A and B are shown apart, each in its own frame.
Chain A
């Protein structure tokens, strides 16, 4: 089995494991090592061919395998690059790499509306986390941002194309989970958009999963629209007997009221079992569910009470700071 070293931590992984998966295995082995796990915006382990687009998970392969003739060091997308024996990878221990990730963050944000105050995804948005950990204090982009009108793609899903980062996850959900994709990516370059092209409705038993996989607030639940900020809700694990799906879900409660139903996400923010639209949209009644207990929320970066705390980067700094004086600069705006 190939051995790989990520940020000075070694792990042995099965053949065919990607660098990202290896890093996650390190994080799962020891929670204190979770800082070696690169952030992901487009990769999704349960969606085939996902990943590679957003470039946030780039890492630097500082030493390749003896078998690999390609010149190193080289930045690669960790989600789509397999580990080779003897590989040495830098994620948080390389200043250039962290700068490259800051660059990707900046690119993802230049056309983003930054409308978090009115966005239902706020508080559980991966772009928010990424921006907080790797972003600048102010944008250097001084041009008009590209804009699209929000549209309803069916009775339950709202598309805010302005917020989209073109991760393709929703397209892959439609391709791999549903039986008739009607939406996709149209146009090209920076005017590409997720669209049905003609007015069309995304309607399918599993279409609601596009909301869960969307890393930003581009696809949101119309039945939850403006109902509450997520941090004011109380999430509980619950299940019901469902002929279509596993029925394992998270109910987001306010008192006894079910405001929203979503799939259960693992520690990497990925849905464990995709749920059907009936579970998601049609059983907003606590009595329809068997509650298992409170949902543990992993507060990895954004914390409430008007106070932001950056746990992850602190840990990164603690573990890596002696080697990387430049890391301290990461907190400063670029210019």
Chain B
């Protein structure tokens, strides 16, 4: 049984309210930080913890905070990214719904370190009901003096507002989020300047994921060093994994980083194994990360057991590895069709492209059309090379990472499942049945893996 730092108290009576949360040690980190620590000391603990951004990129949080510019007389902002829209990811929703005060507490402590007197939670529009839960929690915290002027007599003022989005995956990209928070179209900004220098309202801003900010609470409570003891190498602490797809026990799990992938998938403590059929493939970190076939999920190309860490999942690069990403984990059984799933992924990115820069605006739609044709039995063999070429030409050439995110699922699907794409070109009548692999799974010839 792994340690739980974020979800330990979830499910306890009254934990969603301030009283129940306090009874379980809530707001200790605020007391500790505001009464006994300087902002620099809080930052130091976060640096020591090795915490990395939990939204997907895995950038060291302490370093991100230390980039925050501090021009005199200019307000600074903390913005929490609760836009959670990466397909396969629902951990932030779970956390905010079940233990909203953990986020509020983390925001106060983090804002103290950053010198931000106002912070915003940008939450995706579809989570309107969680917006209400958060507003309630913020109201309770304000009434109890955890927010407002001169918190705990420390001289530190803080206010939190919740901003609602309106349906746009791209607003999870931090600069698009800031644009949206300013009431504009969610078009990502061209960087530099980075938000730490010029963010919300042109002021220095740190944008962090919900889970990242929540993790600040145990880090301050127990110390950065204690937090860093959990995990392997540069993957420290615990991570929330949203588990879905064809598994027996879907849900949100808090794991200690370093848990073997095989154990995570097959143990009854976590996913409980694949439902009914054989495992075909896994997307371990949200739809943007490369899909890997079953054997490469369990073992790296060097035949070492794959672990749930940033490094181990990425081992082998894109040739044989993938990414931990946002922890949006979903498994495919052998009734699933990789071409159909790739088409589905690409339709998503096509729908969500903001349209600002040309490779992504034009390329995502083109890939979707080619994949649609292949999946519906109208494709040709050279469509596969065409797809490869289009994705390659989008990757790295766009303003924001959405272009890469659209390219990688296509590239990895062709890389590992090319024979299945070819099957679609050569068996048009067979693939016209949308459930073409349900009765007769596609038997893939595993490629020889080079370490």
Direct contact of A and B (CB under 8 A): yes
What is A's interface to B at a CB cutoff of 8 Å? 51-55, 58, 74-75, 77, 80, 99-100, 103-104, 106-108, 110-111, 140-141, 143, 165-166, 185, 187-192, 334-335
B393 interface residue per 8 A CB criterion: yes
A103-B393, A185-B185 given; A55·B353 CB < 8 A = no
- Say yes or no: B357 contacts A53, CB within 8 Å: yes
Stretch at the interface among B82-90, B292-300, B360-368: B360-368
Q: Measured between C-beta atoms, what is the minimum distance from B132 to chain A in Å?
A: 27
When distances are taken between beta carbons in the complex, the residues of chain B under 8 Å from A103 are 359, 393, 397
Q: Measured between C-beta atoms, what is the minimum distance from A79 to chain B in Å?
A: 9
- Say yes or no: B350 contacts A190, CB within 8 Å: yes
B66 interface residue per 8 A CB criterion: no
B267 interface residue per 8 A CB criterion: no
- Say yes or no: B361 contacts A141, CB within 8 Å: no
When distances are taken between beta carbons in the complex, the residues of chain B under 8 Å from A165 are 358
- Say yes or no: B358 contacts A111, CB within 8 Å: no
Partner of A189, one of B353, B366, B398, B399: B353
Q: Measured between C-beta atoms, what is the minimum distance from A72 to chain B in Å?
A: 12
- Say yes or no: B358 contacts A53, CB within 8 Å: yes
Per the bound structure, the CA–CA distance linking A52 and B397 in Å amounts to 11
- Say yes or no: A100 contacts B393, CB within 8 Å: yes
When distances are taken between beta carbons in the complex, the residues of chain A under 8 Å from B397 are 55, 58, 75, 100, 103-104
Per the bound structure, the CA–CA distance linking A192 and B386 in Å amounts to 25
Per the bound structure, the CA–CA distance linking A308 and B59 in Å amounts to 51
Nearest residue, chain B, Cβ from A106? B393
B441 interface residue per 8 A CB criterion: no
A55-B397, A143-B369, A190-B365 given; A104·B358 CB < 8 A = yes
Per the bound structure, the CA–CA distance linking A100 and B386 in Å amounts to 15
- Say yes or no: A54 contacts B358, CB within 8 Å: yes
A189-B353, A189-B361 given; A80·B190 CB < 8 A = yes
What is B's interface to A at a CB cutoff of 8 Å? 168, 185, 190, 350-359, 361-366, 369, 385-386, 389, 393, 396-399
Q: Measured between C-beta atoms, what is the minimum distance from A122 to chain B in Å?
A: 21
When distances are taken between beta carbons in the complex, the residues of chain B under 8 Å from A189 are 350-355, 361, 364-365
Per the bound structure, the CA–CA distance linking A141 and B386 in Å amounts to 10
- Say yes or no: B361 contacts A192, CB within 8 Å: yes
Counting chain A CB atoms within 10 Å of each CB, which of B355, B364, B365, B393 scores highest? B355
Q: Measured between C-beta atoms, what is the minimum distance from A102 to chain B in Å?
A: 8
Per the bound structure, the CA–CA distance linking A52 and B365 in Å amounts to 21
Counting chain B CB atoms within 10 Å of each CB, which of A58, A108, A185, A189 scores highest? A189
- Say yes or no: B364 contacts A53, CB within 8 Å: no
A52-B399, A55-B397, A77-B190 given; A190·B359 CB < 8 A = no
- Say yes or no: A190 contacts B361, CB within 8 Å: yes
When distances are taken between beta carbons in the complex, the residues of chain B under 8 Å from A107 are 358-359, 361-363, 366, 393
- Say yes or no: A75 contacts B359, CB within 8 Å: no
When distances are taken between beta carbons in the complex, the residues of chain A under 8 Å from B354 are 188-189
- Say yes or no: B357 contacts A190, CB within 8 Å: no
- Say yes or no: B362 contacts A190, CB within 8 Å: yes
Q: Measured between C-beta atoms, what is the minimum distance from B205 to chain A in Å?
A: 19
Per the bound structure, the CA–CA distance linking A335 and B397 in Å amounts to 22
When distances are taken between beta carbons in the complex, the residues of chain A under 8 Å from B359 are 55, 103-104, 107
Nearest residue, chain B, Cβ from A187? B355
Q: Measured between C-beta atoms, what is the minimum distance from A103 to chain B in Å?
A: 3
- Say yes or no: A166 contacts B355, CB within 8 Å: yes
Nearest residue, chain B, Cβ from A168? B356
Q: Measured between C-beta atoms, what is the minimum distance from A308 to chain B in Å?
A: 25
- Say yes or no: A55 contacts B185, CB within 8 Å: no
Per the bound structure, the CA–CA distance linking A100 and B357 in Å amounts to 14
- Say yes or no: A52 contacts B190, CB within 8 Å: yes
When distances are taken between beta carbons in the complex, the residues of chain B under 8 Å from A335 are 385
Q: Which 7 pairs across A and B sit closest by C-beta, in order of nearness? A: A103-B393, A192-B355, A107-B362, A52-B190, A189-B353, A189-B355, A190-B365
A58-B397, A190-B353 given; A140·B386 CB < 8 A = yes
Q: Measured between C-beta atoms, what is the minimum distance from B94 to chain A in Å?
A: 29
Per the bound structure, the CA–CA distance linking A103 and B407 in Å amounts to 14
Per the bound structure, the CA–CA distance linking A335 and B382 in Å amounts to 11
- Say yes or no: A55 contacts B358, CB within 8 Å: yes
- Say yes or no: A111 contacts B362, CB within 8 Å: yes
Known pairs A51-B190, A55-B358, A189-B352. 4 more at Cβ < 8 A? A74-B396, A108-B362, A190-B350, A190-B364
Per the bound structure, the CA–CA distance linking A80 and B353 in Å amounts to 21
- Say yes or no: A54 contacts B357, CB within 8 Å: yes
Per the bound structure, the CA–CA distance linking A136 and B363 in Å amounts to 16
When distances are taken between beta carbons in the complex, the residues of chain B under 8 Å from A75 are 396-397
Per the bound structure, the CA–CA distance linking A151 and B353 in Å amounts to 26
Nearest residue, chain A, Cβ from B189? A52
- Say yes or no: B356 contacts A141, CB within 8 Å: no
Per the bound structure, the CA–CA distance linking A166 and B100 in Å amounts to 42
Per the bound structure, the CA–CA distance linking A110 and B351 in Å amounts to 18
Between A and B, 15 residue pairs with Cβ closer than 8 Å are A53-B357, A53-B399, A103-B359, A110-B362, A165-B358, A166-B358, A188-B185, A188-B355, A189-B353, A189-B361, A190-B350, A190-B353, A190-B355, A190-B361, A190-B365
Q: Measured between C-beta atoms, what is the minimum distance from A86 to chain B in Å?
A: 17
Per the bound structure, the CA–CA distance linking A143 and B383 in Å amounts to 13
Partner of B356, one of A53, A58, A143: A53
When distances are taken between beta carbons in the complex, the residues of chain A under 8 Å from B389 are 334
Per the bound structure, the CA–CA distance linking A307 and B363 in Å amounts to 33
Q: Measured between C-beta atoms, what is the minimum distance from B322 to chain A in Å?
A: 20
Partner of B168, one of A74, A166, A188: A188
When distances are taken between beta carbons in the complex, the residues of chain B under 8 Å from A51 are 190
When distances are taken between beta carbons in the complex, the residues of chain B under 8 Å from A108 are 358, 362
Per the bound structure, the CA–CA distance linking A100 and B403 in Å amounts to 14
Q: Measured between C-beta atoms, what is the minimum distance from B211 to chain A in Å?
A: 26
When distances are taken between beta carbons in the complex, the residues of chain A under 8 Å from B356 are 53, 166
Q: Measured between C-beta atoms, what is the minimum distance from B448 to chain A in Å?
A: 28
Per the bound structure, the CA–CA distance linking A189 and B361 in Å amounts to 5
Q: Measured between C-beta atoms, what is the minimum distance from B370 to chain A in Å?
A: 8
Nearest residue, chain B, Cβ from A80? B190
When distances are taken between beta carbons in the complex, the residues of chain B under 8 Å from A77 are 190, 399
Per the bound structure, the CA–CA distance linking A52 and B359 in Å amounts to 12
Q: Measured between C-beta atoms, what is the minimum distance from A108 to chain B in Å?
A: 5
When distances are taken between beta carbons in the complex, the residues of chain A under 8 Å from B386 are 140
Per the bound structure, the CA–CA distance linking A106 and B397 in Å amounts to 13
Q: Measured between C-beta atoms, what is the minimum distance from B195 to chain A in Å?
A: 16
Nearest residue, chain B, Cβ from A74? B396
Nearest residue, chain A, Cβ from B186? A188
Q: Measured between C-beta atoms, what is the minimum distance from A182 to chain B in Å?
A: 17
Per the bound structure, the CA–CA distance linking A140 and B390 in Å amounts to 10
Q: Measured between C-beta atoms, what is the minimum distance from B351 to chain A in Å?
A: 7
Per the bound structure, the CA–CA distance linking A100 and B366 in Å amounts to 17
- Say yes or no: B366 contacts A166, CB within 8 Å: no
Per the bound structure, the CA–CA distance linking A212 and B276 in Å amounts to 64
Q: Measured between C-beta atoms, what is the minimum distance from A227 to chain B in Å?
A: 31
